[in-house]
Amino acid sequence: MSQSTTSARAGGGVEDVLPLTPLQEGLLFHALYEGEGPDVYTVQLVVEMTGPVDAAALRRAGQALLDRHAALRVGFRHHGLDRPLAVVRRDVRLPFREIELDGPDAERRCTDLMAAQRRARFAMHRAPLVRMLLVRTPGGRSRLVLTVHHILLDGWSYPVLLEELFTLYEAGPGALGPPVPFREHLAWLARQDTDAALAAYDAVLHENPGPTLLSRLGRRVPGAVPAPATETVELTDEETARLDAVVRRHGWTTNTALRACWALVLGVALGRRDVTFGATTSGRPAEIPGVERMVGLFINTLPVRVRWSWGEPFHDLVDRVQAEQTGLLTHQHVALSDVLERAGTGELFDTSTCSRTTRWTPTPRRRCRTGSGSSTSRPPTPRTTRSAWPACPASASPTG
């Protein structure tokens, strides 16, 4: 055990001390660097519910969720350490508030409360980096607002958490088996061949013409993280069916087609035929039993380089992008900061692609329990308010 780890264990209530994943290091850097104002890596999930809701049972379920997952009970230490560490606390109380609103402006005030939850920064050293708010509004409607720092969880984890939360709400802790701890993923990361992965990305970036920065079309303060904004473009059912048909016919993934399209957008916008951007990977290795039910931050963001020409057929471009990305699958555990250091650049790209499915649909039997049993209300339907999963801390090094 290193001296850093030993000193981090000092003090009562410490259950474990863990290393950070590559993306966690980047997110921690941003949280500390942007020390004031809203943190763009604060995630918020909202569950809308109708009918009576037992607040006490919901609080107990949320607390049981914290007790169950060590990944939710961590604070991060970095002062005096060679590398930052995640300190798991044993006894962590879930911050839970219940607020009842009435009157014609209840919806507006509820929106204001949710926005205030998003604006309130977490102290990164103090567990838990999660809080829960239950807001009751007229008409028997309620909103469960779960606010979490992205450093704890990825988008895949949220449906898992919601399913477990409402199972705990209905049936208590005995209804769930033991979870697979996030430590299993950290152990898997430690066994990977970092040198081989770095060599693979050295080859990808060999003779790279320089950073691909879309922000050069406008103005941005160097190193600053822009405030999040969302613009939604929805495909019709017909457009979605046509896209799925094309992807299936060529043996592509939708993710690959998206990356090829984004490369063309960047190339045309910047007048370049050789572009680099980030891509977020799921980071969930199939070798870990039960990985699909694990909770934590598994994702990673790494560079994608695409060279193209006007005369190349689009299907050839996508075929090539897919082949190149398939060849990197076993190397996607490496830290972006290490790749950038080897490339000799502090900033390689400022855009990233990310594909995810995070919507959770309750089982038909699920109902919101009241103090006297099950109600006849509709199942809770979750949605994500605003876009709260920035794809990556693009090209900043966690070491500054």
Query: What φ, ψ does residue 62 adopt, rounded to 5°?
Result: -65, -40
Model confidence at 381, in pLDDT bands (50, 70, 90)?
very low
Is residue 250 assigned to a domain? yes
User: Both 149 and 229 in a single domain?
Assistant: no
DSSP for 187-235, please give it.
Answer: HHHHTS-HHHHHHHHHHHTTT--S-B-GGGGS---TTPPPPP-----PP
Q: 233 and 153: one domain?
A: no
Distance, in Å, from the CA atom of 49 to the CA atom of 58, rounded to the nearest integer, reads: 12
Indicate whether 154 pLDDT > 70.
Answer: yes
Report the number of distinct structural domains present in the chain. Answer: 2
Question: Binning pLDDT at 50, 70 and 90, where does residue 7 land?
Answer: very low
Q: In the Cβ-directed half-sphere of 55, how many Cα atoms lie within 13 Å?
A: 13
Q: Which two tokens stand for residue 301?
A: 């963001």
Q: Give me the chain's average pLDDT, please.
A: 85
Q: What is the pLDDT of residue 322?
A: 96
Same domain as 199, residue 108 = no
Q: What is the CATH number of the domain that holds 171?
A: 3.30.559.10
Report pLDDT for 207: 93
Residue 142 Cα distances to 51, 100, 385, angstroms: 8, 9, 15
Does a structural domain hold residue 394? no
**What average pLDDT does this structure show over 218-235?**
66
pTM for this predicted structure: 0.83
8 vs 291, which has greater pLDDT? 291
Report in angstroms the alpha-carbon separations of 32 from 154, 302, 347.
20, 22, 19
% of residues, the chain, pLDDT over 70: 83
The pLDDT, as a whole number, for residue 142 is: 93
Report how far apart, in Å, the C-alpha atoms of 170 and of each of 67, 132, 144, 174, 226 are.
17, 18, 16, 11, 41
**What is the mean predicted confidence (pLDDT) over 185-191?**
96
Are 363 and 348 members of one domain?
Answer: no
Give the model's pLDDT for residue 367. Answer: 43
* Whether the predicted pLDDT of 1 surpasses 80: no
* High-pLDDT (> 90) share of the chain, %: 70
Are 287 and 347 part of one and the same domain?
yes
Q: Pick the residue with more confidence: 132 or 372?
A: 132
Return d(Cα 183, Cα 351) in angstroms, integer. Answer: 30
76 and 11 in a single domain? The answer is yes
**Higher-confidence residue: 387 or 244?**
244
253 located within any domain: yes
Same domain (yes/no): 226, 365: no
- State the first-to-last Cα distance of the chain, in angstroms, to the nearest integer: 26
Residue 127 has pLDDT above 50, yes or no: yes
> In this structure, are 180 and 267 located in the same domain?
no
Do residue 69 and residue 91 come from a single domain? yes
Mean pLDDT of the 114-122 span:
94
The domain containing residue 319 runs over which residues?
Answer: 192-353
Peptide bond into 104 cis (omega under 30): no
Regarding whether 202 and 176 lie in a shared domain, the answer is no
User: Going by DSSP bridges, is the β-strand pair 300-307/274-281 parallel, antiparallel, or unpaired?
Assistant: antiparallel
Maximum average pLDDT range among 77-86, 88-97, 208-217, 342-351: 88-97
Can you give the pLDDT at residue 272? 96
pLDDT category of residue 222 using cuts at 50, 70 and 90:
low
pLDDT of residue 224: 56
- R_g over Cα of the chain: 22
pLDDT (mean) for 276-292: 94
pLDDT per position as a tens digit, 12-70: 599 999 999 999 998 998 898 877 778 889 999 999 988 889 999 999 999 999 999 99
pLDDT of res. 359: 55
Whichever domain contains 206, its CATH number is 3.30.559.30
Q: Same structural domain for residues 246 and 266?
A: yes
What's the confidence (pLDDT) of residue 37?
76
